[in-house]
Amino acid sequence: MKQIGEYAWNILIAIDQLANALLGGWHDETISSRLGKSILKGGWASKVRWPAWLYDHFIESVEVDEGWEQGY
């Protein structure tokens, strides 16, 4: 049963990464990571009043090895 849960989780991450790529982001990065980088760099996402738990999620989700080439 654990394998099914892990498989489902991997599918959800793949969908998230696909959505990010379709929106012009790096193909191997999640939307949360992209928003976290925007917050850290003072971009548009830093101007939004996110709920604290969501803001923290974005910051914790930053993938330092993905997407910086695109300026996010």
Is-above-0.95 flag for pTM?
no
For residues 30, 34, 39, 41, the Cα torsion angle rounded to the nearest 10 degrees is 140
In angstroms, the CA 53 to CA 72 distance is: 21
Q: What span, in angstroms and rounded, lies between the C-alpha atoms of 5 and 42?
A: 36
| Structural domain boundaries in the chain | 2-70
Q: pLDDT per residue over 3-39, tens digit each?
A: 889 999 999 999 999 999 999 999 999 999 999 999 9
Predicted local distance difference test score (pLDDT) of residue 13: 96
